[in-house]
Amino acid sequence: MDVFSDVPLQRLNTFALKVRAACLVEYDSSAELEEIDFKVLPQPVKHIGGGSNLLFTGDFPGTLLHSRIRFIKPVEMQEYVLVKVGSGVLWDDLCAWAADHGLWGVENLSLIPGEVGAAAVQNIGAYGAEAADVIESVEVYEPATKAFSVIPAADCAYGYRTSRFKEQWKGKYIVTSVNIKLSKEYSPRTEYGNVRSALAERYGELEMDNLTPSRVRETVIAIRRTKLPDPKEVGSAGSFFRNPIVSKEAYRHVEEVAAREAIGDVPHYNMGDQIKIPAAWLIEKCGWKGKTLGNAGVYPKQALVIINATGEATPAEILALEKAIVESVRNKFAITLTPEVEHI
Ligand SMILES: Cc1cc2nc3c(=O)[nH]c(=O)nc-3n(C[C@H](O)[C@H](O)[C@H](O)COP(=O)(O)OP(=O)(O)OC[C@H]3O[C@@H](n4cnc5c(N)ncnc54)[C@H](O)[C@@H]3O)c2cc1C
């Protein structure tokens, strides 16, 4: 275990903001967690992963905890392999491991930044798959009671990019490892977006019944690279805003604005009584795509992503851009965007 004081956080936030934390504790095993006296640490105490869904709004006055529990332990069953994975393993390292072993389940989730512990908190998702599809249970430590337990996935209330860990259990548990069920059976998921056509283009139509987890993984990686900034090159936290889910009346207002201003049809998904509108479309139609405000900007290829455009953005500049986007979307469409990225 290492304890650092007044530590720079550039390597622990994908926005690459030059912020610092009063204290950072990096631990290597669950047993080490038991040794930590949380009460004597600078407060507040917050567990982080790779900082790829976080916006530090300034220097962090308390203690950041970070897992370096890094192991991948498979147990072979008849039809599947149950893999126990340490919370500090990079999610994409798990995806690469699964592909190398010919196991299905996480290939569509390739290249999502962050660590395995956070994936179980966030219920990460992409290309028609989500972490909840493969999580069997989550192993946790509860600092308040010093107890370890195993929580079955069914009790985690997994939903769209959410879980009990993000809501009523927020801050209660530390995820130490995740038990993930990977399938040996041929089970590619190609129906979402352009995955199928990209696979056919890459490997040929005749190969479409002869896919492998590696082939799907490589295709998903190639698609993602054309759409999203690589955190090693451009700082961001991925999708910054949630897609708003609005009433039919609010949706009709957006349609009226779109007709009046001749800005095209409003993309939308019906969700019972409500309607989901892509936040990226609303932001783009307000003219933000590719625009910068100081050192912060909106990614030119995807309006949902706020970036550290020059590498020198400050938290205040990211927040100013967020505020400006929210205000202009509200003024034009009467919809208030909310951030997906957690502000700390
Ligand atoms: C370029 C880019 C693309 C992205 N694309 C996607 C995508 O396609 N799909 C998607 O779902 N997300 C995407 N994201 C968001 C991000 O990758 C996920 O939210 C990821 O799970 C965050 O992991 P992290 O380790 O960085 O966690 P952090 O951002 O550090 O933390 C996220 C949350 O998890 C909690 N947490 C972290 N570790 C633990 C632990 N061990 N125990 C308890 N709580 C913990 C933190 O307190 C925090 O609340 C993208 C981000 C970027 C930068």
239 catalytic residue (yes or no):
yes
Strand partners, 73: 84
C-alpha dist (Å) from residue 179 to 17, 77, 152, 220, 269: 33, 13, 9, 24, 33
Give 221 Cα–ligand 1 centroid separation in angstroms: 18
Q: Which of these ranges, 150-154, 159-163, 292-296, 306-310, has the smallest mean pLDDT?
A: 159-163
Q: What is the pLDDT of residues 145-172, one digit of tens each?
A: 999 999 999 999 999 899 999 999 999 9
Which atom of ligand 1 approaches the CA of 47 most closely? Answer: 47
SS3 323: helix
Catalytic, 197? Answer no
Ligand 1: centre distance to CA 298 (Å): 20
**Angle between helix 195-203 and helix 213-227 axes, rounded to 10 deg:** 110
The catalytic residue among 52, 164, 239, 322 is: 239
The whole-chain average pLDDT of the chain stands at: 97
Ligand 1 atom with least separation from CA of 230: 1
Residue with CA nearest ligand 1 atom 34: 118
Selected catalytic residue, list 20, 70, 161, 224: 161
Distance 338 CA to ligand 1 centre (A): 17
Judge whether 227 and 302 are in contact, CB under 8 Å.
Answer: yes
Number of other CB atoms surrounding residue 124 within 10 Å = 23
Q: In sequence order, which residues have a C-beta less than 8 Å from that of residue 132 and are 6 or more positions away?
A: 123, 153, 156, 158, 163
| Residue 215 annotated as catalytic | no
Q: Contact at 8 Å (CB) between 19 and 55?
A: no
| One-letter identity of residue 123 | N
pLDDT bucket at 204, cuts 50 / 70 / 90 = very high
Convert the pLDDT of each residue in 227-284 to its tens digit: 999 999 999 999 999 999 999 999 999 999 999 999 999 999 998 999 999 999 999 9
Instruction: Note the pLDDT tens digit of each residue in 313-326.
Output: 999 999 999 999 99
- One-letter identity of residue 316: A
Contact 58, 314 (CB under 8 A): no
**Band of the pLDDT at 306, cuts 50, 70, 90?**
very high
Instruction: Give the percent of the chain with pLDDT over 70.
Output: 100
Mutate to test the pocket of ligand 1, among 19, 29, 30, 53 (most ligand atoms within 8 A of CB): 53
Question: Hey, what domains does the chain have and what are their CATH numbers?
Answer: 2-67 (3.30.43.10), 72-227 (3.30.465.10), 235-343 (3.90.78.10)
For ligand 1, residues with CB inside 6 Å are: 14, 46-54, 67, 87, 112-115, 117-119, 121-122, 124-126, 161, 174-175, 228-229, 231, 236-238, 342
Cα(122)–Cα(87) distance, integer angstroms: 13
Give the mean model confidence (pLDDT) for residues 106-123.
98
Mean pLDDT across 70-75: 97
**Exposed e or buried b for every residue in 94-112, given b needs 16+ CB within 10 A?**
bbbbbbeeebbbbbbbbbb
Q: In this predicted structure, what is the pLDDT of residue 76?
A: 86
pLDDT, one tens digit per residue, over 34-53 is 999 999 999 999 999 999 99
Angle between helices 248-261 and 315-333 (to 10 degrees): 90
Q: Which residues on neighbouring strands pair with residue 241, listed in sequence order? A: 339
